[in-house]
Structure 1
Amino acid sequence: MDSELNNIILNHQVTAILIMNESLQVKYANPAAEQLFSQSAKRIVDNPLSHLIQHASMDLALLSQPLQSGQSITDSDVTFVVDNKPLMLEVTVSPISWNRELMLLVEMRKIGQQRRLSQELNQHAQQQAAKLLVRGLAHEIKNPLGGLRGAAQLLERTLPDPNLAEYTQIIIEQADRLRALVDRLLGPQKPGKKRPANLHLIIEKVRQLVDLEVNQSVSIERDYDPSLPDILMDSDQIEQALLNIVSNAGHILINQANPQITIRTRTVHQANIHGQRCKLAARIEIIDNGPGIPGELQDTLFYPMVSGREGGTGLGLSIAQNLIDQHQGKIDVESWPGRTTFTIYLPI
């Protein structure tokens, strides 16, 4: 009777529930779990959890900890990738006795849209605060550089030995290099003149430039929405933002087998951009089949001076986001091994 009652309760839960053994092999899946994984219980049961998902943002080995500690654990920010779709979940794991064996009860709840939006807004606010801090520091560095360079030039004129000018030239060259770096850190502060422009023509320019950069060693596929109207924008700035993202992907893929980038455009109705409802927007997806962005970099990816690529300056994505922000748009990123997607939204 108790067993029947337990099954009735589990089967009617809206929370996805799995029961697993210490090897994380699934022994039971309720209907909500079937819906979550898009598979029947017959196909789920007796499979390890790792076979049901393509990627997890957490170390799955941690799920077995409750068997040793006897205490439940909860992680409220977990991403499982199922059928190339990321699922944002709150996961709770508890030790239970089931059929006279010690098992793991895994409860998975989808994070609500409101909570996801709140996380996005918090992350965007942190990114903006970091950029303001860096810009403030950049200004503080930039101010004395002019004086340093001028002093070196004056010193050069008064040197008794012309051979010593080699050293003042080093000071001048390094001051110029630092000034150029600071200018890149500051980035464009104001949007240029906006005019209606064809987004696909801009993307074609970007594709051709990246083809030349990587010597056509990376396949760039296009999937354009022909119904996309012209958009009011600064074409040069949008081209630069797209070039920074596509070029990054191209360089990461150069030494990979079967490297591919897909650029996809779509018209989106009722898009949510930083908490504001946008009636109509253009969505540009830049998808690559590279190794993915390391988890420790994903939250700070758009911060200045943060780079996941050897030899990268860490400014390309920061500048891209700044340019898109000036067009009242936003950039999202989802990444796991084998797939990274940058999604740009631009209001129409």
Structure 2
Amino acid sequence: MDTNNLLNHLVTAVLVIDTNLKPRFANAAAEQLLAVANHKLLELRLPDLYQFLGVDEHILRDAVSSNQGITVNTAALITLDGQHHTIDLTLIPIENEQNLSILELRQVDQQRRIHQQLNMDAQQQAAQYLVRNLAHEIKNPLGGLRGAAQLLSRELNSPELKEFTHLIIEQADRLRSLVDRLLGPQRPTQHTEHNIHQVVQKVLKLVEMALPENITLKRDYDPSIPDIQMDPDQLQQAVLNIVQNAIQALDNGGGEILIKTRTQHQVTIGTQRYRLVLALSIIDNGPGILPELMDTLFYPMVTGREDGSGLGLSIAHNIARLHGGRIDCVSAPGHTEFIITLPLQ
């Protein structure tokens, strides 16, 4: 059995380090966590691979030199790309290998995220069930109201009175359109292979036509990402909804929106773990999302804007779910990031 291949299937980041804190080995999960390619990772010392670690490097070096083990729970880690993580750190000396130790970095924020996602999915489905039943209850009398207004319009001779029936019909159609948007896509559609960058480019081409001058769109694509099974129209809608939210968040002061694609290894979505996934990030440097909205952000009719409908993120979340994926959000003043995660075959 190939030991390296076995270690590369682990979710936990595993490194072998010496007394100089230089990695001698790093598995795929370590590359992903530190966001550093393997060849570069093995050239640098461990302290050069992150901005901050909640364990002093002298403690790690002394432990490796003295063949001692260390365990630190919920330590903060800030990687070179500015990502914040919470990890459990374990240092284990290797028997019969002087001055070499195994360093395990296990993300506990990922476990928390998985738990939050399961709760959010359950609550989202309950909310969708409630909205779906309510929508049907609204649509039935709404259809009768519209039909009655049409019949009444045919019997009226006065243009002034007909104007009122036309108003009733217009408002009934508007409410029906709102109900249809509330329902959103409910079942998986036919999926075919498409390139995610072509989907994103169509969205950006659409929004660039009306983009304010004080907002800049930037792209950071990984061209090696293979085609994936998708409904391109649905995914375009999901990406468009998030990009439009970012534009509205930056509308007053301007700023930058970055669209980034990457692959990630050994990622859990719901209760299933995938060896390889696509991570599509939409990042803006706007004011951020109000903390009190974060837990209900993807619920229908929840919005932080006075003129918002609260449907865009709910529909995007549902589309990601119908593709076997998920949407996460990390937000602070100056950095709001929505990550659409989709499994790759």
TM-score by length of 2: 0.69
Alignment of 1:101-180 (within 5 A): 111=108, 113-159=110-156, 161-180=158-177
Identify the residue that residue 50 of structure 1 maps to in structure 2: none
Alignment of 1:289-308 (within 5 A): 289-308=285-304
Given the superposition, is the C-alpha separation of residues 303 and 192 from structure 1 closer, same or farther in structure 2, using an over 3 Å criterion?
same
Q: Counterparts of 1:346 and 1:227 in 2: how far apart (Å)?
A: 15
> 1:190 deviation in Å?
2.5
SS at structure 1 position matched to 2:299: coil
Alignment of 1:264-279 (within 5 A): 264-279=260-275
Q: Counterparts of 2:315 and 2:109 in 1: how far apart (Å)?
A: 31
| 1:263 equivalenced with 2:259 (yes/no) | yes
2:182 paired residue among 175, 181, 185? 185
Deviation per CA, 1:186-224: give whole Å up to 9, x if none. 112233321111111111111121212324531111111
Does structure 2 retain, via aligned residues, the 8 Å contact 1:214–1:251?
A: no
Overall identity of the aligned pairs, in %: 55
Alignment of 1:233-272 (within 5 A): 233-257=230-254, 259-272=255-268
Aligned amino acid, residue 282 of structure 1 = L
SS at structure 2 position matched to 1:278: strand
Identify the residue that residue 339 of structure 2 maps to in structure 1: 343
**Which stretch shows the higher mean deviation, 322-331 or 305-314?**
305-314
Identify the residue that residue 228 of structure 2 maps to in structure 1: 231
Aligned amino acid, residue 191 of structure 1 = P
Identify the residue that residue 217 of structure 2 maps to in structure 1: 220
> 1:255 deviation in Å?
2.1
> 1:297 deviation in Å?
0.6
Aligned amino acid, residue 144 of structure 1 = P
Given the superposition, is the C-alpha separation of residues 82 and 277 from structure 1 closer, same or farther in structure 2, using an over 3 Å criterion?
closer
Q: Counterparts of 1:114 and 1:330 in 2: how far apart (Å)?
A: 15
Deviation per CA, 1:76-126: give whole Å up to 9, x if none. xx9x9967434469xxxxxxxxxxxxxxxxxxxx85654442232112211
Does structure 1 retain, via aligned residues, the 8 Å contact 2:53–2:78?
A: no
Alignment of 1:9-28 (within 5 A): none
Given the superposition, is the C-alpha separation of residues 39 and 250 from structure 1 closer, same or farther in structure 2, using an over 3 Å criterion?
farther
Identify the residue that residue 52 of structure 1 maps to in structure 2: none
Identify the residue that residue 105 of structure 1 maps to in structure 2: none
Aligned amino acid, residue 35 of structure 1 = L
Does structure 2 retain, via aligned residues, the 8 Å contact 1:202–1:235?
A: yes
> 1:305 deviation in Å?
0.9
| 1:322 equivalenced with 2:322 (yes/no) | no
Identify the residue that residue 54 of structure 2 maps to in structure 1: 36
Q: Counterparts of 1:38 and 1:156 in 2: how far apart (Å)?
A: 79
**What's the C-alpha RMSD, in Å, of the aligned pairs?**
2.8
Flag as ranges the 4+ runs of structure 1 deviating above 3 A: 37-41, 80-89, 110-116
| 1:283 equivalenced with 2:279 (yes/no) | yes
Identify the residue that residue 209 of structure 1 maps to in structure 2: 206
Aligned amino acid, residue 271 of structure 2 = G
Given the superposition, is the C-alpha separation of residues 81 and 170 from structure 1 closer, same or farther in structure 2, using an over 3 Å criterion?
farther
| Structure 2 residue ranges without an equivalent (≥5) | 1-51, 60-73, 88-106
Aligned amino acid, residue 237 of structure 1 = Q
| Structure 1 residue ranges without an equivalent (≥5) | 1-33, 42-77, 90-109
What is the aligned length?
Answer: 260
> 1:309 deviation in Å?
2.8
Does structure 2 retain, via aligned residues, the 8 Å contact 1:290–1:338?
A: yes
Q: Counterparts of 2:117 and 2:294 in 1: how far apart (Å)?
A: 13
Given the superposition, is the C-alpha separation of residues 341 and 171 from structure 1 closer, same or farther in structure 2, using an over 3 Å criterion?
same
Identify the residue that residue 85 of structure 1 maps to in structure 2: 83
> 1:154 deviation in Å?
1.1
Does structure 2 retain, via aligned residues, the 8 Å contact 1:211–1:218?
A: no
> 1:170 deviation in Å?
1.2
SS at structure 2 position matched to 1:292: coil
Does structure 1 retain, via aligned residues, the 8 Å contact 2:212–2:251?
A: no
TM-score by length of 1: 0.68
> 1:161 deviation in Å?
3.2
Given the superposition, is the C-alpha separation of residues 188 and 35 from structure 1 closer, same or farther in structure 2, using an over 3 Å criterion?
closer
Deviation per CA, 1:146-198: give whole Å up to 9, x if none. 10000111112223534211111111111011001001111122333211111
Q: Counterparts of 1:302 and 1:88 in 2: how far apart (Å)?
A: 24
Q: Counterparts of 2:141 and 2:217 in 1: how far apart (Å)?
A: 45
